[in-house]
């Protein structure tokens, strides 16, 4: 891949250079990895920071419509917005979220917006690193806001919240019983809950759902990174473009408070340490993912299954085989 | 440790030899580990199998009382019963469940019972291996039933269900709402749900709770290892020693069906493969737990926190440091 001068072009905000660099960090080839590492080191010196907003919501809550309306509102204020996705499901299905840019037709044509579909990935560990690097590239390219979208499945919320300055939960209006549907652990990660579809017939239900979640948020343990009264639940209508500016005002108020009180810096430092730890563990376990290692694991696993050797004995042999390489 | 002839004594059912061997497998010393591996290989040849019963239940459901009453009922039928514990909480608290044998006063004096408190451990991975080895020792010592107790916390249910032929969930009578309290994933692991305290004022509530869970079990995806009508929910009273024989009859019926249909063997093979995989992964990650590796991780983590180096760069240096050793 031609990467000469790519860093400089990214720093000027060149979108094609940015797209190319993201392809580079997504590549599994060793030479691409080396180029990516070099590029990221160069760009880290820019010191630019975006506001990273993580957004989680199950299919059907209107995530694409929200991102489009919210994104257009931000670009309307002169801000530059990048949209990335963390998609744990693509590992299995081979599909990707955000894959169809027509879902966000207006935003994808906006010159101040950059939308990148999620690549098909083999594992969440790899997804996290590539997304982290894509965020760094968007920051260096001068985007003011980076929206990181995920479908609420398994561990993807943890990944996105560890990549974000603000983590938003987008929910649909629902009967009171369905409040149970959001796991407590996810609630505890949220910096803001937005009840979408507060329009037409669903407006009243959305208001009730919002009050339920506001109540639930008040019952959670107080977090040091929240000023009094936060985290908040609010209603929005992505379709009617209602409540988006108020939500953005709240996000900015929260961000300003966190910056002033040292939480912004502390959070980014803590996230960096988290990703360092994850990357070391991931690399150690990646030794099992080579074709030779997989073969040996399968062979020993079959022997263990028949009872020919014990799990511990087999593990000892596998570790010996790995250290011989 | 004097281990001469320990294997032969265990095979005769010598309880002191068994206790000593469990201490050996719990030891972190390298020479003890070597002796333990040798001992386990020798004993594996006996081919003896117990019925391994995992039992999970939060504090307050009457687990100790149940184990005592159920254990006494089994020894009363001439069976030999061992009781072990997997305690994820001891890593933090330093305490241990089953620590106080006075909780099971009658059973601990029964010559056909063997009760082993959980050791204080540093991590769940280590707990699992030691428990697995302690089970193997109890099987070699000729115990008919090995009960493996755990407090329902985090991942401990998965560990216990992967160590058991039958996994029981012990619950207390409760209002219908609290049915939500048991996570779906835990329900799906259960081979039988027992509602304890079906006595006195709680009898009617226990019956209702039991019906609720029986209904919930019917809604779960059918598992190949269950005959029609299973898994079942039943009421018991450990205090009044009611329902214990019926529960035991059900366990035996289920076990016989599984043996006849190949599921018993398939399950043990699948568990052995699971533990092989876990042990390899655990050993790879254990390279981060040496004092030198911890120091290096801490040093690099601090640098990552200040932003002096990126998480990826730091990970690269850590892996280089590990491979130098």
- pLDDT, residue A181, reads 64
The answer to whether B70 touches B53, Cβ cutoff 8 Å, is: no
Give the rounded percent of residues in chain A with a pLDDT score beyond 70: 89
- pLDDT, residue B220, reads 86
Under the banding of pLDDT at 50, 70 and 90, the label for residue B125 is low
- pLDDT, residue B193, reads 95
Scanning every residue of chain A, which has its alpha carbon at the shortest distance from the alpha carbon of B310? A272
- pLDDT, residue B107, reads 92
Query: Whole-angstrom Cα distance, residue A208 to residue A170?
Result: 15
- pLDDT, residue A178, reads 56
User: Which positions in chain B touch A270 (Cβ < 8 Å)?
Assistant: 305
- Please identify among residues 121-160 of chain A the ones whose CB lies closer than 8 Å to any CB of chain B: 129, 132-133
Condensed to tens digits (0 to 9), the pLDDT of residues B164-205 reads 999 999 999 986 555 556 777 888 899 999 999 999 999 999
Q: Which residues 6+ apart lie within 8 Å of A315 measured at CB?
A: B276, B279, B280, B283
Q: Which two tokens stand for residue A303?
A: 């022997």
User: Which positions in chain A touch B300 (Cβ < 8 Å)?
Assistant: 276
- Which of B310, B317, B318 should one mutate to test binding to chain A, selecting the residue with the greatest count of A CBs within 10 A? B310
Scanning every residue of chain B, which has its alpha carbon at the shortest distance from the alpha carbon of A136? B310
Tell me which residue in B280, B314, B318 faces A315 most closely, judged by beta carbons: B280
pLDDT > 50? residue A248: yes
pLDDT > 70? residue B320: yes
Q: What are the phi and psi torsion angles at A24 (to 5°)? A: -60, -45
The answer to whether A166 touches A251, Cβ cutoff 8 Å, is: yes
Question: What is the SS3 assignment for B12?
Answer: coil
CA dihedral sign, ordered A134, A135, A137, A138: positive
pLDDT > 70? residue A211: yes
Tell me which residue in B275, B276, B288 faces A300 most closely, judged by beta carbons: B276
The answer to whether B140 touches B46, Cβ cutoff 8 Å, is: yes
Would you call B180 an interface residue with chain A, using a CB distance cutoff of 8 Å? yes
Please give the C-alpha separations between residue A232 and each of A163, A193, A204, A319, in angstroms, as whole numbers. 20, 6, 18, 50
User: Which positions in chain B touch A300 (Cβ < 8 Å)?
Assistant: 276
- Which of B315, B321, B322 should one mutate to test binding to chain A, selecting the residue with the greatest count of A CBs within 10 A? B315
The answer to whether B82 touches B146, Cβ cutoff 8 Å, is: yes
Residue-by-residue DSSP string for B96-162: -TT--GGGGHHHHH-TTEEE-PPPP-S-HHHHHHHHHHHHHHHHHTT-SEEEEEE---TTHHHHHHT
Give the rounded percent of residues in chain B with a pLDDT score beyond 90: 66
- pLDDT, residue B102, reads 59
Q: State the burial class of residue B55 (Cβ atoms within 10 Å of its Cβ: 0-12, 13-18, 19+).
A: buried
User: Which positions in chain B touch A322 (Cβ < 8 Å)?
Assistant: 284
Q: Mean pLDDT lowest for which of A196-200, B14-18, B84-88?
A: B84-88
User: What is the average pLDDT across A199-219?
Assistant: 92
Q: Mean pLDDT lowest for which of A43-57, A248-262, B118-132, B242-256?
A: B118-132
Would you call B248 an interface residue with chain A, using a CB distance cutoff of 8 Å? no
pLDDT mean across residues, chain B: 88
Q: What is the pTM of this model?
A: 0.78
Tell me the fold of A1-45.
Answer: 1.20.5
Tell me which residue in B129, B270, B315 faces A280 most closely, judged by beta carbons: B315
Residue-by-residue DSSP string for A88-110: TTHHHHS--TT--GGGGHHHHH-
Half-sphere exposure of A207 (CA within 13 A, CB side): 5
Tell me which residue in B280, B285, B300 faces A276 most closely, judged by beta carbons: B300
pLDDT > 50? residue A94: no
CA dihedral sign, ordered B277, B279, B284, B285: positive
Query: Whole-angstrom Cα distance, residue A164 to residue A160?
Result: 6
Query: Whole-angstrom Cα distance, residue B119 to residue B88?
Result: 10
Instruction: Specify the DSSP class assigned to residue B242.
Output: B
Under the banding of pLDDT at 50, 70 and 90, the label for residue A119 is low
Task: Tell if the CB–CB gap between A277 and B312 is shorter than 8 Å.
Answer: no
Tell me which residue in A269, A273, A310 faces B44 most closely, judged by beta carbons: A310
Name which residue leads in pLDDT, A68 or B91.
Answer: A68
- Please identify among residues 268-297 of chain A the ones whose CB lies closer than 8 Å to any CB of chain B: 269-270, 272-273, 275-277, 279-281, 283-285, 287-288, 297
- Which of A284, A314, A323 should one mutate to test binding to chain B, selecting the residue with the greatest count of B CBs within 10 A? A284
Q: Which two tokens stand for residue B202?
A: 């709680």
Would you call A313 an interface residue with chain B, using a CB distance cutoff of 8 Å? yes
User: Which positions in chain A touch B154 (Cβ < 8 Å)?
Assistant: none
Question: What is the SS3 assignment for A170?
Answer: strand
B59 Rama class: left (phi>0) / alpha (psi -120 to 50) / beta: beta
Query: Whole-angstrom Cα distance, residue B144 to residue B13?
Result: 11
Task: Tell if the CB–CB gap between A315 and B180 is shorter than 8 Å.
Answer: no
Task: Tell if the CB–CB gap between B313 and A275 is shorter than 8 Å.
Answer: no
pLDDT > 90? residue A272: yes
Domain segments of chain A as ranges: 1-45, 48-261, 288-324
Condensed to tens digits (0 to 9), the pLDDT of residues B266-292 reads 999 999 999 999 999 999 999 999 999
User: Which positions in chain B touch A298 (Cβ < 8 Å)?
Assistant: none
Give B204→chain A minimum CA distance, Å. 26
Scanning every residue of chain B, which has its alpha carbon at the shortest distance from the alpha carbon of A323? B323
Task: Tell if the CB–CB gap between A301 and B273 is shorter than 8 Å.
Answer: yes
Residue-by-residue DSSP string for A133-158: HHHHHHHHTT-SEEEEEE---TTHHH
Would you call A311 an interface residue with chain B, using a CB distance cutoff of 8 Å? yes
User: What is the average pLDDT across B102-110?
Assistant: 84
Q: What are the phi and psi torsion angles at B148 (to 5°)? A: -115, 110
- pLDDT, residue A93, reads 43
The answer to whether B231 touches B225, Cβ cutoff 8 Å, is: no
B146 forms beta bridges with B52, B82
The answer to whether A320 touches B312, Cβ cutoff 8 Å, is: no
Q: Which two tokens stand for residue B119?
A: 């050791």
Task: Tell if the CB–CB gap between A269 and B301 is shorter than 8 Å.
Answer: no
Query: Whole-angstrom Cα distance, residue B6 to residue A315?
Result: 25
Task: Tell if the CB–CB gap between A40 and B319 is shorter than 8 Å.
Answer: no
Give B324→chain A minimum CA distance, Å. 12
Give me the CATH code for the A48-261 domain, please: 3.40.50.300
Task: Tell if the CB–CB gap between A312 and B280 is shorter than 8 Å.
Answer: no
Scanning every residue of chain B, which has its alpha carbon at the shortest distance from the alpha carbon of A41? B310
Would you call A310 an interface residue with chain B, using a CB distance cutoff of 8 Å? yes
User: What number of C-beta contacts closer than 8 Å exist between A and B?
Assistant: 105
Condensed to tens digits (0 to 9), the pLDDT of residues A1-39 reads 667 799 999 999 999 999 999 999 988 888 998 899 889
Would you call B36 an interface residue with chain A, using a CB distance cutoff of 8 Å? no
Query: Whole-angstrom Cα distance, residue A272 to residue A73?
Result: 30
Which pairs with CB-CB distance under 8 Å and at least 24 residues apart come from B254-261?
Answer: B254/B166, B254/B191, B254/B192, B254/B226, B254/B227, B254/B230, B255/B51, B255/B165, B255/B166, B257/B227, B258/B165, B258/B225, B261/B227
Q: Mean pLDDT lowest for which of A116-130, B147-161, B194-208?
A: A116-130
pLDDT > 80? residue A95: no
Condensed to tens digits (0 to 9), the pLDDT of residues B238-259 reads 999 999 999 999 999 999 999 9
């Amino acid at each position: 891949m031609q990467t000469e001068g790519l860093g400089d072009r990214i720093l000027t905000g060149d979108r094609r250079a940015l797209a190319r660099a993201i392809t580079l960090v997504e590549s599994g080839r060793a030479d691409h990895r080396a180029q990516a590492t070099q590029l990221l080191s160069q760009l880290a010196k820019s010191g630019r920071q975006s506001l990273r907003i993580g957004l989680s919501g199950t299919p059907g809550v209107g995530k694409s419509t929200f991102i489009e309306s919210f994104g257009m509102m931000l670009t309307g204020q002169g801000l530059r917005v990048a949209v990335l996705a963390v998609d744990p499901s693509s590992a299995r299905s081979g599909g990707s979220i955000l894959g169809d840019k027509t879902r966000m037709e207006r935003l994808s044509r906006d010159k101040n917006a950059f939308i990148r579909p999620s690549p098909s990935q083999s594992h969440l560990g790899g997804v996290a690193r590539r997304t982290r690097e894509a965020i760094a590239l968007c920051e260096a390219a001068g985007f003011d806001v980076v929206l990181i979208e995920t479908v609420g499945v398994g561990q993807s919320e943890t990944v996105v919240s560890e990549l974000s300055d603000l983590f938003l939960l987008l929910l649909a209006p629902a009967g009171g019983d369905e409040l149970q549907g959001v796991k407590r652990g996810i609630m505890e990660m949220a910096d803001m809950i937005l009840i979408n579809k507060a329009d037409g017939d669903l407006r009243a239900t959305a208001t009730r759902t919002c009050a339920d979640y506001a109540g639930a948020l008040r019952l959670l343990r107080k977090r040091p990174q929240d000023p009094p009264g936060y985290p908040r639940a609010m209603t929005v209508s992505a379709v009617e473009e209602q409540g988006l500016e108020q939500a953005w005002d709240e996000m900015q108020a929260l961000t300003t408070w966190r910056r002033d009180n040292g939480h912004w810096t502390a959070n980014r430092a803590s996230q960096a340490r988290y990703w360092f730890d994850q990357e070391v563990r991931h690399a150690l376990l990646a030794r099992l993912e080579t074709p030779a290692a997989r073969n040996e694991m399968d062979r020993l696993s079959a022997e263990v299954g028949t009872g020919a050797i014990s799990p511990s004995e087999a593990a000892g042999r596998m570790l010996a085989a790995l250290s011989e390489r």
